Amino acid sequence: MKKTLFLLVLSILTLDVFAQNIIPKPVEIKNIAGAYNITAATTIGANNAESQKIAEMFAAKLQKAAGLTPKIQKTGAIQFTINATPNTIIGNEGYTLEATNAGVKIAANKPAGLFYGFQSLLQLLPKEIESKSVSKGVKWNVPGVKVVDYPRFGWRGLMLDVSRHFFSKADVKRYIDDMVRYKFNTLHWHLTDDNGWRVEIKSLPKLTEVGAWRVARDGHFGDRKDPQDGEPTSYGGFYTQDDVREIIKYADERGVTIIPEVDVPGHSMAAIAAYPYLSCTKDPKTKVNPGTNFAEWYGGGKFRMFIDNTLNPSDEKVYEFLDKVFTELAALFPNKYIHVGGDECYKGFWEKDPGCQALMKKMNMHEVEQLQGYFMKRVETILNAKGKKLLGWDEILEGGISPTATLMSWRGVKGGIEAAKMGHDVVMTPSTFAYLDYNQGEATIDPPIYATLRLSKTYSFDPVQEGVDPKYILGGQGNLWTEQIPTIRYAEYMTFPRAWALADIFWSPKDSKDWNNFTKRMEAHFERADAAEMGYSKAVYDAIVKASEKDGKLIAELGSELADVDVYYTMDDTMPDNFSTKYTQPFEVPDAQITLRVATYRNGKPIGHLITLKREDLKKRVGR
């Protein structure tokens, strides 16, 4: 009897913990007595055609993972309901969810909210619900719970760059599936850049005949060999307009809006390779860039381009070209925005171009930066004529922008603060918190990239900065640039778990933020990601190694992002384990040919990567 009671209590406690593992964290979640067990007899209810679609998605999940084929009818034990009378608390994307012994009820005002309730229901079920095949011996229990949930921000985005590396239609759908598990609702689709033009424009066929393909190159992006004349351009790809429509439909069924980006006037080498007349230099030998170094960076945002990758703002043919591009894009994408880039536009070729100088004189411009403002206003006029709003990176502030333009703040938060104070709508996506291509942990373990962004730093982000009126902050976004990301699984590895942190930030109440609580939920989702065969990084388990100098001595400082992880180290050419020296405080590194080896453990078990650094490596970290 005692054993039975113990097992019952353990089962209830396990389910209660289960209920608290939802990402993003719900506004209100209360454990209640009981649990609903899904069986072969379970029915699914849907009160109209819109809720029926979500009920069918859930039934498909159960069939794949549990081997169950529940009947869908008007009312059922698991009920999906679009409210006849709106619940004013939850808005358009919120939902209520209640699970008891008798069943599960999910209700929302709109299909998007019902879909997010469905995602929370999936997270309440055992991790095997994410499996791609039937899991045997699983009890499909939904813990007793009551949830009232709605988002903090309306814009909860991720950006996928498909120019640096092309991702197939199936890959893009997979990324959308990854997003919606965590209630992201916006996919920013970076479709064009120096390294490839990825969307069919029927009136400009060379954009994909030429601009979508480049020479094949191995090695680190930025260190590759220049393309040679006559070399075959075998790497690349593009989306036909039918592909785009299919992906938009797929996203729409899952509550995701797709924002297309055509990056102009800079980052346009692929377009110029197809149509050389678009640039100032009009070089017919311009090629789609395969990842070579074609710029010199001086710091502080200053740089010089070796190759002209910028559209000519003084040439009317450029605006005729853009009108054709945006005419076709506006017809394809139903959302109100088209992103036009505007970032990292090198103006050195404009300074030397007679046409640009003549335009500056005609328009009484005193600085070449004003040409970008002129260009952007012309582009905005084109977009507005097609019923679209201009969206761009924070450089569009240079040279002035119209009051109706919307800005994405990527160079930190400064541009977003400035734009919001000017009355512009802003999406906060600063590289300092939200660039998912940045290294996630120890630089000697993950492949090299030019900056580091740890999970804890991402989690510390808040889109509404001090002194800014929140009404101008649409929300936030994580950006995944893909110079070093050739596959969709590695795209997942770089996106998660940092995007889980962003999901909490964009959805959950600000005052609910709790790092220790988040990391516990994160670890539960590592297991769910394994079941889903989804990529993710465990860099959060690795030690943090810093160095400083004091009184001429080299000092090492070790740490961890997690409070319950122990750090051990050696400097005597032995491999560290949990019987080695445990780190408790900064220590002096001997002035000798030593190697510092660092390992992390939890509860006596190894948990992170082994980090190995020579003394000279540590010295390079001083001051960082």
* Mean pLDDT computed over 181-208: 98
Q: In this predicted model, what pLDDT tens digit does every residue of 313-342 receive, in sequence order?
A: 999 999 999 999 999 999 999 999 999 999
Number of Cβ within a 10 Å radius of residue 456: 17
In the predicted model, what is the mean pLDDT of residues 200-209? 98
Half-sphere exposure in the Cβ direction for 278 (13 Å, CA): 26
> Which three-class secondary structure state does DSSP give residue 30?
strand
Both ends of the chain: CA-CA distance in Å?
61
For 82, list phi and psi in degrees, rounded to 5.
Answer: -90, 120
Polymer length of the chain: 624
Confidence band (pLDDT; 50, 70, 90) for 397? confident
List of residues 6+ apart from 309 with CB closer than 8 A:
194, 266, 267, 268, 269, 272, 279, 289, 294, 346
Q: What is the pLDDT of residues 265-306, one digit of tens each?
A: 999 999 999 999 999 999 999 999 999 999 998 887 789 999
pLDDT at 19: 64
* Rounded-to-integer distance, Cα 376 and Cα 340, Å: 9
Q: Do you find a cis peptide bond into 497, omega within 30 degrees of 0?
A: yes
Residues 6 or more apart whose CB falls under 8 angstroms from that of 202 comprise 241, 328
Q: Residues 479, 427: contact at Cβ < 8 Å?
A: no
pLDDT at 523 over 60: yes
**pLDDT, the chain, mean:** 95
Pick from 530, 569, 516, 572: nearest CA to 547: 569
Going across the sheet that includes 587-588, the strands are 544-550, 553-559, 587-588
Distance CA 287, CA 198 (A): 15
- Per-residue pLDDT tens for 134-145? 999 999 999 999
**Does the structure show a pLDDT above 60 at 4?**
no
Containing 473, the helix (H) or strand (E) segment is: strand 473-480
pLDDT of residue 14: 46
SS3 78: strand
**pLDDT for position 10:** 45
Helices and strands per DSSP (H, E), number in the chain: 18, 29
Catalytically active residues are: 344
Instruction: State yes or no: pLDDT of 456 exceeds 50.
Output: yes
Q: What 8-state DSSP symbol labels residue 197? A: E
Q: Are 528 and 123 in contact (CB under 8 A)?
A: yes
Of residues 395 and 5, more confidence is placed in: 395
Cβ(72)–Cβ(52) below 8 Å = yes
d(CA 79, CA 57): 13
Percentage above 90 pLDDT, the chain:
93
Kindly report whether the global pTM for this prediction surpasses the value 0.85.
Answer: yes
504, two tokens: 């909490």
Mean pLDDT (whole number) for 453-466: 97
DSSP state of 182: T
- CA angle, residues 148, 151, 157, in degrees to nearest 5: 145
Tens-place pLDDT, residues 45-100: 999 999 999 999 999 999 999 999 999 999 999 999 999 999 999 999 999 999 99
**86 Cβ neighbours under 8 A, 6+ residues apart:** 109
**What is the average pLDDT across 574-595?**
97
Question: pLDDT band at residue 400, thresholds of 50, 70 and 90?
Answer: confident
- 449-455's contacts with Cβ under 8 Å and 24+ in sequence apart are 449/484, 453/498, 454/539, 454/540, 454/544, 454/561, 455/497, 455/498, 455/501, 455/522, 455/539, 455/540, 455/561
Question: 214-252: per-residue pLDDT in tens?
Answer: 999 999 999 999 999 999 999 999 999 999 999 999 999
Angle at 477 between CA 490 and CA 25, to 5 degrees: 90
Q: Which residues contact 49 (CB under 8 A, 6 or more apart)?
A: none
Q: Is the pLDDT of residue 11 over 60?
A: no
Name the residue among 178, 141, 137 with its Cα closest to residue 160: 178
Distance of alpha carbon 505 from alpha carbon 184, whole angstroms: 11
Half-sphere exposure (CA, 13 Å, Cβ side) for 130? 22
Alpha-carbon distance of 162 to 86, in angstroms, equals 39
What is the residue type of 347?
K
What integer pLDDT is reported at residue 18 of this predicted model?
Answer: 56
Residue 60 has what pLDDT? Answer: 97
Identify the pLDDT of residue 368: 93
SS3 content of the chain, % helix, strand, coil (to 5): 35, 25, 40
Q: What is the pLDDT of residue 401?
A: 76
pLDDT at 17: 56
Structure tokens that stand for 482 in this block = 């893909």
- The conformation of residue 500, written as its DSSP 8-state character, comes to H
- The pair of structure tokens assigned to 173 is 């759908």
Which amino acid belongs to residue 44?
I
User: Rounded distance, CA 462 to CA 31, Å?
Assistant: 29
Q: Which residues contact 168 (CB under 8 A, 6 or more apart)?
A: 237, 488
Q: Which of 152, 144, 78 is nearest to 114 (CA)?
A: 78
Q: In sequence order, which residues have a C-beta less than 8 Å from that of residue 273 and are 6 or more positions away?
A: 210, 211, 286, 287, 288
Among candidate residues 86, 66, 87, 91, the one with its CA nearest the CA of residue 78 = 66
Neighbouring residues of 232: CB distance < 8 A, sequence distance ≥ 6:
215, 216
236: left (phi over 0), alpha (psi -120 to 50) or beta: left
